[in-house]
Structures are given as structure tokens and as C-alpha cells.
């Protein structure tokens, strides 16, 4: 019996699929792609003789039946999903019936739209002494949020938020962020179809104005909302610089400007490299 691979197609640009994902497409006998979210251009890597189908009109049972039928026909199968299969998809729900049918599965990660959105906006999701934490979340809609995972509670940490599947709920996003202590002047970036050639759009506005700005730009779906204390940092006059390339910072590949700190090294390895960044 053949194997079913769940492959992350990435955020939209067909060149952002992984090399492994592309190779699996080239050798698969059947490909089922999520046409409502995955660009059809991603299927260009598939073999000419491969059976290619779009799942946008299928429910879960139909998708699983299709995958099982193709695998039982001794064809290696690729289920091509948007972004990364482990984020906001029905991965587990699809795996269970496949495994019950005795079909082997494999998973290939993909580039998340969160990272594609940050790249499109030229933003860093983390910044030294500003935020070192990134939260992936969403606003409750048809799918409720688990206990303790409301946006207001998560936003209270003041870290970077990548808010998925919530572009139609910007009023709720604003109210939750205000409840969490964010200002109406807090910068927000919304990226529509991040990385999609000729379709990507980046919308920037303060929290109080982001809904109107998105409406004016016609952004009503397939968008990532970025909220972070690090937004716009490339325009700041001063930054707390990373220790990664600090000339005073020693690690096992490079000596800093404080030779005495090398006494802390044992057997050629740094015992505590973070201590070496401190002037003596």
C-alpha cells in the first residue's frame, strides 16, 4: 500500500514550498490540494500523469475517502495544505481515518503565513529587550476558544501576536487588545495573501483605525494580523542590539574583546557563554 503525505504548501508563493515537498509532488501518483487557500500554481511541480484534484468542494469525509482510495490503489498521495499542516488545519481529523485504514502517513512542514507576513512587512517578530515571545492565536468565531485562551488574556503579556483567521473580527480584536491594556495608538500590520505574487497587500494603521483601513483596501479574507511592541523598529533611532554579533560577546566559535574571560573556558568550550558578555 502507498503512503499519504501531508505537505505544507507554504503561504502562497509556489517557490516557498520546501524542497522535500516539491520532490514529493514530482513523484506522487495523486495530489489533493486545498484550492480555496492553496495557489493552483503549487501543483505545477506534480508529474504530468498524476491525478490532481481540488478539495474546496469536499467535506472531511469526502477528503478522507479520496485519500484512502488513492492510497489503496498503490499510489503515493500528497495532500497539499496551506502554510504548515500543524497550524489551523484538520490534520489530526484526517490522520485518524487513514491510520484506521492501515495507511502510512508522513508530514512535511511548510512556511507559515505568520512568517510570510512578517517578511512582506519587513518586520521582526522578536527584538532584544522588547519582546522575545511570539503567540499564534485567533479570535473566537464559529470555533470557540478553549478555556484560558482568550485573546484578551494572551494579549495581556504584551508580546508579539500573530492573529490568524480573524480579519472579519477586527472590532473584537480591538476590544480585546484594549481590555488587555494595549493603546488605540498601538501599531498594527495586516497582510493580505502574504507572498502571493501580484496579490499581496500590506495595510498599516493604529489599532483604532485598522478596521477602516482594511475596509478601504478591500481586505476581508486570507489576512494575517500582526500586533507587536517591535513593529516599526527599523525606523527607531536607537536599538538594544543583539549579543549574537556583539564584539564583546564570546562563544565557542569567536573570542570577544575581553581575554580574561577566556579563563571561564574549560576544555576549549565555554562554560557559560552568557557570562562572557559582561565587562570585567
- Express each pLDDT in 189-244 by its tens digit: 999 999 999 999 999 999 999 999 999 999 999 999 999 999 999 999 887 777 66
Residues 215 and 270 in one domain: no
First to last CA, the chain: 65
Task: Name the residue range of residue 100's domain.
Answer: 3-111
pLDDT tens digits along 92-102 = 999 999 999 99
Phi and psi of 53, rounded to 5°?
Answer: -135, 150
Residues 128 and 217 in one domain: yes
Residues 197 and 179 in one domain: yes
| Maximum distance among all Cα pairs of the chain, rounded to whole angstroms | 69
Residues 90 and 133 in one domain: no
Sign of the Cα torsion 218, 221, 222, 228 reads: positive
Examine the pLDDT at 59 and tell me if it is beyond 50. Answer: yes
Question: What is the spatial distance between Cα 126 and Cα 242, in angstroms, rounded to a whole number?
Answer: 11
Number of folded domains in the chain? 3
Answer with the one of 111, 143, 165 that is the final residue of a domain: 111
Residues 146 and 57 in one domain: no
Examine the pLDDT at 87 and tell me if it is beyond 70. Answer: yes
DSSP of 59-106: -HHHHHHHHHHHHHTT--EEEEESB-TTSSS-HHHHHHHHHHTT-EEE
| Eight-state DSSP code of residue 36 | T
What pTM was estimated for this model as a whole? 0.85
Task: Name 19's Cβ contacts closer than 8 Å, sequence gap at least 6.
Answer: none
Residues 157 and 205 in one domain: yes
Question: What is the spatial distance between Cα 153 and Cα 156, in angstroms, rounded to a whole number?
Answer: 5
Residues 31 and 135 in one domain: no
Residues 164 and 182 in one domain: yes
Residues 169 and 192 in one domain: yes
Residues 195 and 268 in one domain: no
Amino acid at each position: 500500500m502507498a503512503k499519504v503525505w501531508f505537505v505544507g504548501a507554504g503561504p502562497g508563493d509556489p517557490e516557498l514550498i520546501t524542497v522535500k515537498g516539491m520532490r514529493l509532488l514530482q513523484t506522487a501518483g495523486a495530489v489533493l490540494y486545498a484550492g480555496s487557500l492553496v495557489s493552483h500554481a503549487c501543483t505545477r511541480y506534480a508529474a504530468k500523469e498524476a491525478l490532481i484534484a481540488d478539495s474546496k468542494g469536499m467535506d472531511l469525509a469526502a477528503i478522507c475517502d479520496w485519500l484512502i482510495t488513492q492510497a489503496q490503489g498503490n499510489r503515493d498521495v500528497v495532500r497539499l495544505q496551506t502554510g504548515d499542516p500543524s497550524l489551523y488545519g484538520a490534520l489530526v481529523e484526517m490522520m485518524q481515518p487513514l491510520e484506521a485504514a492501515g495507511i502510512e502517513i508522513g508530514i512535511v512542514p511548510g512556511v507559515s503565513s505568520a512568517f510570510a507576513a512578517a517578511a512582506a512587512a519587513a518586520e521582526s517578530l522578536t527584538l532584544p529587550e522588547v519582546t522575545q515571545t511570539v503567540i499564534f492565536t485567533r479570535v473566537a468565531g464559529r470555533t470557540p476558544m478553549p478555556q484560558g485562551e482568550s485573546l484578551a488574556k494572551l494579549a495581556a503579556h504584551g508580546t508579539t501576536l500573530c492573529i490568524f483567521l480573524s480579519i472579519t473580527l477586527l472590532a473584537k480584536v480591538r476590544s480585546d487588545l484594549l481590555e488587555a491594556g494595549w493603546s488605540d495608538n498601538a501599531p498594527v500590520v495586516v497582510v493580505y495573501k502574504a507572498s502571493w505574487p501580484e496579490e499581496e497587500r500590506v495595510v498599516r494603521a493604529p489599532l483604532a483605525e485598522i478596521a477602516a483601513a482594511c475596509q478601504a483596501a478591500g481586505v476581508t479574507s486570507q489576512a494575517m494580523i500582526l500586533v507587536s511592541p517591535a513593529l516599526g523598529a527599523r525606523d527607531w533611532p536607537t536599538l538594544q542590539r543583539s549579543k549574537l554579533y556583539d564584539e564583546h560577546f564570546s562563544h565557542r566559535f569567536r573570542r570577544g574583546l575581553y581575554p580574561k574571560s577566556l579563563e571561564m573556558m574549560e576544555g576549549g568550550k565555554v562554560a557559560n557563554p552568557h557570562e562572557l558578555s559582561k565587562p570585567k
